[in-house]
Structure 1
């Protein structure tokens, strides 16, 4: 059974939803706010885009600036972090012989953008192999900094890794990389709303995140924060009419990113509503929400690990509110048979958990490794009973696989 707070969401009755991390889930109150924005726009689309759109975008920038402790005018508001990463690679200078550094736990779409940009410019991508399981953050720091060379010009690092759920020590890595002359692109897709983020203090070259994940805004709402020294000449992937219409007293960076063509911007307008709605979910506001979700994720992990007889793959201090567990393995031949099963997801086990047990949770792996990972999420609408249910389902399904 989900928690009492699940009444604020529209998740299907009877579904055990333990995958907030993939696309998020938006509270009904925030969806209603988005609908109000859409109704206002549709009442007179021309007037809205000409007279109201810029103010709505700036209101979102100001809300994010307050939430993330940074200047509001450094935000480019975009549909998702993947587009933000592609935008950085389209703007950041790379030359033949340069190196782009990333880790083995980066999100595949971001890896694709890095490889394409490097190939187009004669640069190369260097992959720092992160351990998993991991014992401490020093292992991560050594793996990343040990991969820096005199040719490294840009490091793309996740704040929270997608496949493995590790909170990387970016507050230590960013200044270390900058001291070596390496610009930083932090993919914080999962971070804001999961862990405390102070962009003013962190001071990366670029930072992007999806607001539709842990801030719980509507789908298609994200940001890219660009350091002040890099904003002049930093441009969107697509240039709208705004590109040739500078506005007096307004930075061209804001003008061009305000409007990149006709699309539904209402998810972006609703980000401040999501920040406020989620703040109200716990008496202690956002710090209490993050603490609750972290503690529930750890409790859920412990329930599953105990049931399956496995050990945690990372220390609690390196986790937020998503946790990846390494499932018990099979011998090589059985593993091949198990992985050959048809699936609409990454692993047929995920299909079976959903369609036979009503549990939505990802089962996947890390590139280059044969281990299978189950990643749980914890949001205020979840309860510990749901992880007990998952533990029982996994135990039964793994037993079934041993008979294949």
Structure 2
């Protein structure tokens, strides 16, 4: 098998319904791409061919062919996120990336770990675990929502920094509110204090442009199965080269005592943590190319199209609910949240799904009975789907 696989990308037909490129149920208005993403059919077909190749000769694939294919995928991903390939490792999801960093570092009861009250629950749990194990204290910056500007986020985070702050964990794009955090100025300020910064970028790759070289984070982890639309189980961890000797994968395996000199210990450990299915990573060059081929303007046009669509959706929902826009347009990417009247989230979500055929998340925020409705926009979505949601919300 060649390490220069190509899926033979189909010609883009302007009259074709993009939804036909996905396996999504045509009876459901799927407005929750941000939850788990959705992988296009041609990429799933490529993944199946890779799996078939693996099973035809497992030893040849795992021992002779896998490494160059991983390197090829890493180069394509590095180009897309603006990083040096040597600074990226593959992980199955961003939560694993956050755990790998937190569980590799040393903390003491004198240290403080700073995050916000909008941090993703799974990663907050990882922070809680580290605090319980090491005695390090957790400081919480309260970020308001609704809000008027990025500066409110900057001020909220910096106000909780102290002489004991050793690491700051921040979302790039929050799952709960869909806010794009102003991480670049925050990283610059925090690193000037000598504080390490771990960015949970689960939603960022493919939703907003990335240049990790310019961001300057100590650590950055992002999912590829969400807005890049890769198969499930594809994500990455960026580690600044000065810190790579400290960060270990959650599973210690053969790379720990490898004597090879042609690859970094960072890659030797993360690239092989035991037998698993690596094909999601190997599809990255093709999925980046495929998604970038769907519109004439490539990825920039795709991101802008999704941004414009979610802005329109937010406007319709706010009008249906008679509420103000909760944040400026520039603070959201391809996800947007609107406040709902107080109540439980599950009954409303179930009603929308079962009676109206709409898949959309309702989330308690900041805590019950307060709740938010979050919509996502991907190229397979249409304005009519959001208009139907707004109409259903008004009726309910």
TM-score bracket for the superposition, by shorter chain length: over 0.9
Work out which of the residue numbers 245, 254, 258 in structure 1 matches 2:258: 245
How far apart are residue 369 of structure 1 and its match? 6.0
Q: Does 1:7 align with 2:20?
A: yes
Work out which of the residue numbers 229, 240, 244 in structure 1 matches 2:242: 229
TM-score, normalization: structure 2? Answer: 0.94
| Count of equivalent residues | 381
- Corresponding residue for 1:360? 359
Q: Does 1:39 align with 2:39?
A: no
Q: Secondary structure of 1:196's match? A: coil
Q: Does 1:83 align with 2:112?
A: no
Tell me how far apart the structure 2 counterparts of residues 366 and 97 of structure 1 sit (CA, whole Å).
Answer: 31
Work out which of the residue numbers 271, 278, 294 in structure 1 matches 2:291: 278
User: Where in structure 2 are the equivalents of 1:187-336 lying within 5 Å?
Assistant: 187-329=200-342, 335=343
Tell me how far apart the structure 2 counterparts of residues 131 and 141 of structure 1 sit (CA, whole Å).
Answer: 11
Work out which of the residue numbers 135, 140, 149 in structure 1 matches 2:153: 140
Aligned residues of 1:101 and 1:126 also touching (Cα < 8 A): yes
Q: Secondary structure of 1:186's match? A: strand
Q: Does 1:128 align with 2:141?
A: yes
Aligned residues of 2:224 and 2:230 also touching (Cα < 8 A): yes
Tell me how far apart the structure 1 counterparts of residues 365 and 197 of structure 2 sit (CA, whole Å).
Answer: 23
Q: Structure 1: which 4+ aligned runs deviate by more than 4 Å?
A: none
Q: Does 1:159 align with 2:158?
A: no
Tell me how far apart the structure 2 counterparts of residues 352 and 45 of structure 1 sit (CA, whole Å).
Answer: 47
Tell me how far apart the structure 1 counterparts of residues 110 and 37 of structure 2 sit (CA, whole Å).
Answer: 39
Q: Does 1:49 align with 2:57?
A: no
Tell me how far apart the structure 2 counterparts of residues 63 and 232 of structure 1 sit (CA, whole Å).
Answer: 24
Q: Does 1:19 align with 2:32?
A: yes
Q: Secondary structure of 2:103's match? A: helix
Could you list the per-position Cα deviations for residues 86-136 of structure 1 after superposition, in whole angstroms to 9, with x for gaps in the alignment? 101111221122011111111000000011011111101111000010110
- Corresponding residue for 2:350? 351
How far apart are residue 41 of structure 1 and its match? 0.8
- Corresponding residue for 2:122? 109
- Corresponding residue for 1:332? none
How far apart are residue 268 of structure 1 and its match? 1.1
Tell me how far apart the structure 2 counterparts of residues 13 and 81 of structure 1 sit (CA, whole Å).
Answer: 30
Could you list the per-position Cα deviations for residues 259-301 of structure 1 after superposition, in whole angstroms to 9, with x for gaps in the alignment? 1111111111111111111101111001001000000000011
Tell me how far apart the structure 1 counterparts of residues 320 and 365 of structure 2 sit (CA, whole Å).
Answer: 23
Aligned residues of 2:105 and 2:246 also touching (Cα < 8 A): no
How far apart are residue 9 of structure 1 and its match? 0.7
Q: Which moved more, 1:297-306 or 1:3-12?
A: 3-12
How far apart are residue 323 of structure 1 and its match? 0.1
Q: Secondary structure of 2:289's match? A: helix
CA RMSD, aligned part only? 1.2
How far apart are residue 327 of structure 1 and its match? 1.1
Q: Which moved more, 1:227-236 or 1:182-191?
A: 227-236
Could you list the per-position Cα deviations for residues 189-239 of structure 1 after superposition, in whole angstroms to 9, with x for gaps in the alignment? 000100011001001000001100000000111000000001124211111
Aligned residues of 1:103 and 1:128 also touching (Cα < 8 A): yes
Work out which of the residue numbers 190, 198, 210 in structure 2 matches 1:185: 198
How far apart are residue 366 of structure 1 and its match? 2.2
Tell me how far apart the structure 1 counterparts of residues 346 and 170 of structure 2 sit (CA, whole Å).
Answer: 26
Q: Which moved more, 1:359-368 or 1:280-289?
A: 359-368
Q: Secondary structure of 1:91's match? A: coil
Q: Secondary structure of 1:347's match? A: helix
- Corresponding residue for 1:380? 379
Q: Secondary structure of 1:225's match? A: strand
Tell me how far apart the structure 1 counterparts of residues 84 and 227 of structure 2 sit (CA, whole Å).
Answer: 21
CA 1:184/1:49 → structure 2, altered by over 3 Å: closer, same or farther? same
Tell me how far apart the structure 1 counterparts of residues 166 and 117 of structure 2 sit (CA, whole Å).
Answer: 18
Q: What runs of 5+ residues in structure 1 fail to find an aligned partner?
A: 330-334, 340-345, 398-404
Tell me how far apart the structure 1 counterparts of residues 164 and 294 of structure 2 sit (CA, whole Å).
Answer: 47
Q: What runs of 5+ residues in structure 2 fail to find an aligned partner?
A: 1-15
